[in-house]
Chains A and B, each alone.
Chain A
Amino acid sequence: MAEQSGTAPHDRAAELHRALAEDPRTSELGVTVTMRGEQVHLSGTVVSAERKAEIDMVVHEAEPGLRVTNDVQIVSAAEPTGAEDIR
């Protein structure tokens, strides 16, 4: 758990980023963590709603007092409609 008082916002963001990467429940390296006071903003993409919820869980456990805005998106698994011509 990150120390909440007297810790610089970028350090707290770094600790949360590490937690999301190293916690086996998430193992997400592709989530951007931005701290603003006692708020944290999460962005990036994951492959399912379940994984988005797991990110919430890990962040809340690491910093229970934070207000979390989870803007992580679910990446599309749709067939492509076009193709690029490589020249």
Chain B
Amino acid sequence: MTTIAAVGDVHLDEDAAGRLRPALGHIGDKADVLLLAGDLTRHGTVGEARVVAKEFSGLDVPVVAVLGNHDYHCDEVAEVTSVLADAGIHVLEGDGMVLDLGECTLGVAGVKGFGGGFEGKCGTAFGEPEMKSFIGHTVAAADQLKSALAALDCDVRVALTHYAPVPETVAGEPPEIFPFLGAYQLGNAIDCCDTALAVHGHAHFGSERGQTPGGVPVRNVAQPVINGAYARYRLPT
């Protein structure tokens, strides 16, 4: 059995430093790995990234993250990623990594993802260049996720995104904004491999549980949804 701890949308900045740390002190007793599903900062500044780095560094489990839209806001993505990496946090964007957990090897493929909407109610790469660019980004992210999942040589495979891969886990949000919360292409990518679990954030008013069309369990771990420092999921190995 492998236990995944996961949380997204912690939105840390200097004023919220240390907020999660008390709950993380003994995480090694409760989980084998901690996944961070994006929106780790409030505005995506280097200063905020340092707060995130301090919050999640030195834990007794590996920490694997993707960034979210908030982490992109100040156009300091490279610097933010570097600060987190220097603190030992593995930041994925269209790639993956395999962790040897002793009992099994856990593969995590991660990408921020993007919006676009879900089956029958989605945008298409047609018309204005802005629209083609929007959906093009979505398709590229899904393709990267698919390739990263396929490349993992491991016992258990997990997909980590910020944007949602299915509509079930954004249920609770206004339907009008579903296209800004996720995209069906991410779900299709997850279904292309033998994925045990998909974890995402972004939809604060969403629902925790859903599944892809292919039956892969999907969990929305946005902190307002799980209402805690992290959620725990046990996977058979």
Chain A residues within 8 Å of B, Cβ to Cβ: 24, 27, 29-30, 32, 44-48, 50-51, 75-80, 82-87
Chain B: minimal CB distance from A61 (Å): 19
Question: Which of B20, B205, B223 contacts A32, CB < 8 Å?
Answer: B205
Chain A: minimal CB distance from B20 (Å): 5
Q: How far is A46 from B234 in the complex, measured between Cα atoms in Å?
A: 28
Q: How far is A38 from B15 in the complex, measured between Cα atoms in Å?
A: 32
Q: How far is A30 from B9 in the complex, measured between Cα atoms in Å?
A: 10
Q: How far is A77 from B16 in the complex, measured between Cα atoms in Å?
A: 11
Q: Is the CB of B229 within 8 A of A78?
A: yes
Question: Which of A29, A32, A48, A83 contacts B19, CB < 8 Å?
Answer: A48
* Interface: B11 (CB within 8 A): yes
Chain B residues within 8 Å of A, Cβ to Cβ: 3, 9-12, 15-16, 19-20, 22-23, 26, 30, 42-43, 70, 73, 196-197, 204-205, 217, 219, 223-224, 226-236
Known pairs A47-B19, A84-B234. 20 more at Cβ < 8 A? A44-B205, A44-B224, A45-B224, A46-B11, A48-B16, A51-B16, A75-B224, A76-B228, A78-B23, A78-B228, A79-B23, A79-B30, A80-B228, A83-B233, A84-B231, A84-B233, A86-B196, A86-B197, A86-B233, A86-B235
Contacts of A48 in B (CB 8 A): 15-16, 19
Contacts of B43 in A (CB 8 A): 24, 27
Contacts of B197 in A (CB 8 A): 86
Known contacts A44-B205, A75-B224: does B19 contact A80 (CB below 8 Å)? no
Q: How far is A45 from B23 in the complex, measured between Cα atoms in Å?
A: 19
Contacts of B227 in A (CB 8 A): 75-76
Q: How far is A86 from B195 in the complex, measured between Cα atoms in Å?
A: 12
- The DSSP consensus for interface residues of chain A is loop
Contacts of A45 in B (CB 8 A): 204, 223-224
Q: How far is A32 from B10 in the complex, measured between Cα atoms in Å?
A: 18
Contacts of A50 in B (CB 8 A): 15
Known contacts A48-B19, A86-B197, A86-B217: does B223 contact A75 (CB below 8 Å)? yes
Chain B: minimal CB distance from A74 (Å): 10
Contacts of B236 in A (CB 8 A): 86-87
Q: Is the CB of B204 within 8 A of A27?
A: no
Q: How far is A29 from B22 in the complex, measured between Cα atoms in Å?
A: 27
Q: How far is A78 from B73 in the complex, measured between Cα atoms in Å?
A: 28
Q: Is the CB of A82 within 8 A of B232?
A: yes
Chain A: minimal CB distance from B12 (Å): 8
Which 10 A/B pairs are nearest by Cβ-Cβ distance? A30-B204, A83-B232, A45-B224, A79-B23, A76-B227, A85-B234, A80-B228, A77-B229, A86-B233, A75-B224
Q: How far is A51 from B22 in the complex, measured between Cα atoms in Å?
A: 20
Q: Is the CB of B232 within 8 A of A84?
A: yes
Contacts of B217 in A (CB 8 A): 86
Contacts of B15 in A (CB 8 A): 48, 50-51
